[in-house]
Structure 1
Amino acid sequence: MSSDSVHLYLNDALKVYSRKDLACALEIDTSTLGRWLVKENEPRPYVVDRLKQILLPFHARREPGEFKFIDLFAGIGGLRIAFESIGGECVFTSEWDSYAQRTYLANFGDTHALHGDITQVDVSDIPDHDVLLAGFPCQPFSIAGVSKKNSLNRAHGFACDAQGTLFFDVARIIKEKRPRAFLLENVKNLQSHDKGRTFSVIKHTLQEELGYQIHTRIIDGQHFVPQHRERIAIVGFREPTPFSWDALELPEKGSFRMGEVLHKEDGSEPYLEWDGSRFFDHEKGCVNEKYILSTKLWSYLKAYKEKHTAKGNGFGFGLIGPDDVSRTLSARYYKDGSEILIKRGPKNPRRLTPRECARLMGLPDTYRIPVSDTRAYKQFGNSVVMPAFKEVARVMKPYISQN
């Protein structure tokens, strides 16, 4: 095999693995890998076979799905898992963050390219699809809304009202590709953002400009995991349908407790080859010490809470045990973990491990975490409770399947 071919394999692998992880998988040191990459030295022939094995899951053939969907602002793929569970086939992905891309590729591989900045993607390069998924960020809209434009006899439309926001890119794709349905996901406060004007523009765009029938619902992830996490789901259909949120099957809140996601320290914690001992020390049977708060940080958090309690507000840490439900996991969790701290009796509490965060988002233990703890906390804090949107996908399916 030619030298260029070997380097193509190496560069493909580096889209998924860090240099350190790839070097470990190839059983070499990072300096050797560095010399290979700059072509100072050539890899031995066996390296090609090893690289093929590493990349095999990412080049796997997939059976055609019952319907096709695209995954925009994909994050780490929570919505994709939900829609694959009902027979969907992902045919296009866009995610701008390089670390999220690494996690996404480590879990899905892919038969299609992973695109970055959606604002730079031409709609003609997006394949036809039945469903559009988008967990788009909520950015400030630049005008007060359609009603104001009407009062001033000025032209309006999503190309004007939403220009400069990432919602505009969702709208332009819907306009050109006309999927049968879409699911947009965002924070609960999208409805009240900018005194409701943002949501007004979104609804007007989807209903009046694009002609879709829409349904909105706030769903608390607490129905499916031990975490209070409210998100808004905006479901739209191109044709009139009898879709109803009444079809949702939501387990009673409180049915799930933290004990179901915490590492088991009674000897029953499963060994995950892809985690190794990164989060849990299987020899000692306990969570790694690095997740335990230092005495200095714990003292600071207690003093901070006492100060604000005296002022009559609720700022401070959240201390929970196996029988509790957690607060919302946020993207800032990496800073001090204060919103969700795990009790350890008289000892200092600890943070959740990234594996526990994955479980708290409803992701299976087969889900890979190829990035640093800091990046993982940010990614899970920005993700969706997957089982909640799996249920949304289930009730949407009768109206999107080609059959």
Structure 2
Amino acid sequence: MIKETISIEEINGELFNIKLIEPENNAPAAYTHYLHSIDNHYSEIFRDDAIEYVKTVLEYTQKDEIPHLVAEEALQYLLFNYQNDVPFPAPQNPEFQFIDLFAGIGGFRIAGQDNLGECVFSSEWDIHAKATYFANFGKIPFGDITKEETKRNIPFGFDVLCGGFPCQPFSNAGLRKGFEDTRGTLFFDVADILDRNIQNGTPVKVVFLENVKGLKNHDKGRTLKTIDKVLDDLGYEMKYEVLSSKNFGVPQNRERIFIVAYLKTENRNFTFPLGLDSHDKAIFDKEKLSNVKSTKVGDILEINTDSKYTISDKLYAGHIRRKKEHLEKGNGFGFSLFDENSQYTNTISARYYKDGSEILIVQKDGNPRKLTPREAANLQGYDEKFVIHKSNVQAYKQFGNSVSIPVIRTIFNEIKKQLL
């Protein structure tokens, strides 16, 4: 029997102290995925690695070699005493399953769970994003999705593959080879996972991807055409649309391209809830956006903020000088000011922590200030209960890299209609 001197809290503590510093070690991820999957058949995929992880932690804490049987018993002890006391637990009666690739801090996951989806696998390589993900969902994402030791943990039989994959150049071979054109990119691994599920007889029903707006015209449009061809070769019909967060209830002009692909054999008729026409004017679908409320920047601002977010005289002077230089050169680069009555801000980026130049908030007395991390979370549609990384630098990076949850939630709602 597990020694009484070892508590669940101690083992969960060691999760970070010992193992999370090793990004390619998937044992902590298997351990947390197992605890969350015990009520379904996915748990067996993670069981062996979870037992080995518990054994490792027990050996570390007790300085004794732990038999496999004791580690297995300890895992069950943890299981039955495990409290899913996290801000965003999985839905009790899920209606579909999805996996969360390039998971970041879990924007896709929150939106999927809001639509009664269950996340059965997540993957993210950044150690700081993993810590934030664990704090909010109780699961540590697996590591590098390009590695076989990560892919082997992906279960078969889920409904939706989702993720915001990076925009990368493909092969110069054009469109002749399709799948092979994407080798060496992270989209190749998305396609590889889809192909493995097809070969297993459990094809993924829907693919849901997000990327920067520039993907639409990247490499003169060849990149997007290659993605379309690969998905078509795998049996999927692809649709895409450029959407802005400002049309989904958050005051941020964040334009991103969204790709939804579904099995051609399913004979679906998916449409996006809101798009941009050829003149970049919003096309609204009132029925699909009935819950969207009009917002302004003041809606995401905190009432009282620490003076540390006010930029220094030196930084402000530098901003003014650089903006003047850019104007003289005939371009619009430089810092941007907003107040509580502004309809929306610029796009927040992962570099926001450096100087906050893309979004500075006007103050009545003194220099403008940066957004606080909580305001950055609000700008991306994160709930107040979302646990923010304790490092402001990491928090700004994470929200700058994140998806806008209201956009993902709305699209997920349309995807769900295709599944039920």
Question: 1:13, 1:54 within 8 Å by CA — same for their partners in 2?
Answer: no
> What is the aligned counterpart of 1:91 among 76, 98, 120?
120
Cα pair 1:16 1:105 within 8 Å, conserved: no
How far has the Cα of 1:193 moved from its partner? 1.1
1:210 maps to which of 234, 243, 247: 234
Alignment partner, residue 40 of structure 2: none
Shift in CA distance, 319/133, structure 1 to aligned 2, threshold 3 Å: same
**CA offsets 1:256-293 (integer angstroms, 9 cap, x no match):** 111000002xxxxxxxxxxxxxxxxxxxxx21111110
RMSD: 2.9
**Match of residue 176 from structure 1:** 196
What are the residue-to-residue correspondences of 1:20-59 with 2, within 5 Å? 56-57=84-85
**Alignment partner, residue 260 of structure 1:** 299
CA contact (8 A) 2:133 2:141 kept: no
Instruction: Tell me the equivalent position of 1:126.
Output: 154
The superposition leaves residues 308-332 of structure 1 with CA deviations (integer Å, 9 ceiling, x where unpaired) of 2222211111001001110000111
The residue correspondences of 1:363-402 to structure 2 (distance < 5 A) are: 363-401=382-420
Unaligned runs of 5+ in 2: 22-58, 64-79, 198-202, 275-284
Q: Which has the higher contact order (CA 8 A, sep 6+)?
A: 1
The residue number in structure 1 matching 2:144 is 117
TM-aligned CA deviation for residue 91 of structure 1: 0.3
Secondary structure, aligned partner of 2:414: helix
Aligned partner of 1:82 in structure 2 is 111
Letter aligned with residue 11 of structure 1: E
What residue identity is the alignment partner of 1:117? D
Q: What is the aligned counterpart of 2:313 among 295, 313, 325? A: 295
Structure 2 counterparts to residues 4-403 of structure 1, below 5 A: 8-12=11-15, 14=17, 56-57=84-85, 63-110=92-139, 114-121=141-148, 123-127=151-155, 128-146=157-175, 149=176, 156-158=177-179, 160-177=180-197, 178-207=203-232, 209-223=233-247, 224-238=249-263, 239-245=266-272, 248=285, 249-250=288-289, 255-264=294-303, 286-324=304-342, 325-401=344-420
TM-score by length of 2: 0.75
Shift of 1:114: 2.2
Contact 1:228–1:328 under 8 Å retained in 2: yes
Measure the CA separation in 1 of the matches of 2:12 and 2:246.
43
Give the distance between the partners of 1:133 and 1:119, measured in 2 at CA: 16
* 1:16–1:103 contact (8 Å) kept in structure 2: no
Three-state SS of the structure 2 residue aligned to 1:218 is: strand
SS in structure 2 at match of 1:387: helix
Contact 1:77 1:104 in 2 (8 A): yes
> How far is the alpha carbon of 1:139 from its aligned partner?
1.4
Report the Cα distance in structure 2 between the residues aligned to 1:253 and 1:319, rounded to whole angstroms.
Answer: 26
Shift in Å, 1:126: 1.2
Match of 1:283 in 2: none
Distance 2:369 2:257 in 1: 31
Q: C-alpha separation between the residues in 1 aligned to 2:81 and 2:291?
A: 44
- Shift in Å, 1:335: 0.5
Q: CA deviation at 1:305?
A: 1.0
Residue type at the aligned position of 2:296:
R
Q: Which amino acid aligns with 2:335?
A: F
Deviation per residue, 1:171-221 (Å, 9 max, x gap):
0111122211110111111111122121111111011x1110111111100
Whole-Å separation in 2 of the counterparts to 1:61 and 1:184: 21
Letter in 1 for 2:395: A
The amino acid across from 1:202 in the alignment is I
Take 1:384 and 1:166, find their aligned partners in 2: how far apart are those partners?
A: 18
Q: Normalized against structure 1, the TM-score is what?
A: 0.78
- Distance in 2 between the 1:296 and 1:237 partners? 53
Measured in 2, the distance between the counterparts of 1:290 and 1:120 equals 42
Q: Write the distance in 2 (CA, Å) between the matches of 1:53 and 1:371.
A: 28
Give the SS at the match of 2:403: coil
CA distance in 2, matches of 1:251, 1:331: 31
